[in-house]
Amino acid sequence: MSITVYTENWEGKFRKSTFEAVCYAKKIADISNKEVKAISIGEIDENELKKLSNFGANTIVSYPKIKKNNEKGVATIIKNESENSNLIIFSNTFNAKSIAPRVSVKLNAGLITNVISEINDLENISVKRQSFSSKAIESIRLKSNCGVITISPNAFNVTENVVSFNIEVKANELDSNISITGKDVNKGKISLSEAEVVVSAGRGLKGPENWNMIEELADCLGAATACSKPVSDIGWRPHSEHVGQTGKAIAPNLYIAIGISGAIQHLAGVNSSKIMVAINTDPEAPFFKAADYGIVGDAFNVVPKLIDELKKINNN
């Protein structure tokens, strides 16, 4: 018996969220005396696949001829590979959100998404998950024999756990019911949902031309950039950067909010961040009630100083 984990890659490279999912699976596998079986989809080289064994994957099955955006096909593969498994783990990415529901139907398995707690008993699975746009945490129990779980990115640690492993490469091909006609990916950017540090700005920035300093600050911190809803609504920044209740929910280690007042809808999407810093001219801004650190001041004055300070450390 094994725990199955979908190990997503991006252009042949795994990301931290992939290893988080493997580590999560390994923890349950250890307490229930099972093995971890990783399923990789799409072209990838063997050295990259081997990395999965550093975090506990004993069996690594690779399907290089299937593309990950053929979610219907990927779901079929995962179902077929899960005959000896009653738990399938995903990291909660865009790709996983299109695959996991399909797998749950194929296996008649309950699906629990946005999971933020570990599983202590494989026979009686209950976990905590984010709900109400992070305004609440729900405890939820699995009623079916088999379960599909998607874990929140950045909610679990990645710890090395080197195991012996074997790699099987399978040449299966499967048709897709959608065809991809184009793709536009901003390669240099850090993925917002996985970023450990996020620098975010709101209407206090006064105009899109002032985002240079936000991007410079983000560069100093190796951070992703985000924005508030009004900023995305007026088109200063792309929708994909909108964090908050109707945008993305994120959980970085550090969230820096610049010129964002902190409306309840915004806080809902970011209050899972471990540390929050608010920079705002208005001392009454609600964000100061939610933040760990606050600076009352003008972004145009504070941000350049912050960049200077960070550059000093980076240079040392």
Partner 1 sequence: MNILVCISSVPDTTSKINFTENNTKFDKNGIQFVINPYDEFGLTKAIMLKEKLQANVSVITVGDASVEPVMRKALAIGADKAVRINMQPMDSFSTANEIASYVKQNKYDIIIAGKESSDYNSGAVPGIISEILDIPFVNACNGLNIEGEEINLSREIDGGIEKIQTKIPLIIGGQKGLVEESELKIPNMRGIMTARTKPLEVIEATTTNHLTESIEFEKPSVKGECKMIDENNISELVNELQNVTKVI
Site for partner 1 in 248-287 (CB under 8 A): 249, 253-254, 263-265, 268, 271-272, 274-278
Site string for partner 1, 181-210 (x = CB under 8 A): xxxxxxx-x-xxx--xx-------------
Closest separation between CB of residue 118 and partner 1, Å?
A: 16
Closer of 46 and 126 to partner 1 (Cβ): 126
Closest separation between CB of residue 59 and partner 1, Å?
A: 26
Interface residue with partner 1 among 12, 132, 168, 173 (CB under 8 A) is: 132
Nearest alpha-carbon partner for 196 in 15, 26, 25, 52: 15
Give the separation between CA 157 and CA 177, rounded to whole angstroms.
36
DSSP 190: P
Closest separation between CB of residue 126 and partner 1, Å?
A: 6
Query: Which tokens sit at 65?
Result: 């001829």
Query: What is the dihedral sign for C-alpha 91, 46, 188, 69?
Result: negative
Closer of 167 and 307 to partner 1 (Cβ): 307
Exposure string for 49-79, b = 16+ CB within 10 A, e = fewer:
bebbbbbbbbbbbbbbebbbbbbebbbbbbb
Instruction: Determine if 300 is a binding residue for partner 1 (CB under 8 A).
Output: no
Closer of 204 and 294 to partner 1 (Cβ): 294
Give the separation between CA 259 and CA 276, rounded to whole angstroms.
13
Instruction: Determine if 83 is a binding residue for partner 1 (CB under 8 A).
Output: no
| List of residues 6+ apart from 84 with CB closer than 8 A | 1, 2
The answer to whether residues 72 and 177 touch, using CB atoms and an 8 Å cutoff, is yes
SS3 256: strand
- C-alpha distances out from residue 37 to 26, 44, 73, 125, Å: 9, 17, 18, 19
Residues in the interface with partner 1 (CB under 8 A) total 98
Task: With contacts defined by CB under 8 A, name the span among 24-32, 33-41, 110-118, 154-162 that binds partner 1.
Answer: 110-118
Site string for partner 1, 163-182 (x = CB under 8 A): --------------xxxxxx
Site for partner 1 in 6-35 (CB under 8 A): 10
Closest separation between CB of residue 119 and partner 1, Å?
A: 14
Site string for partner 1, 207-236 (x = CB under 8 A): --------------x----------xx---
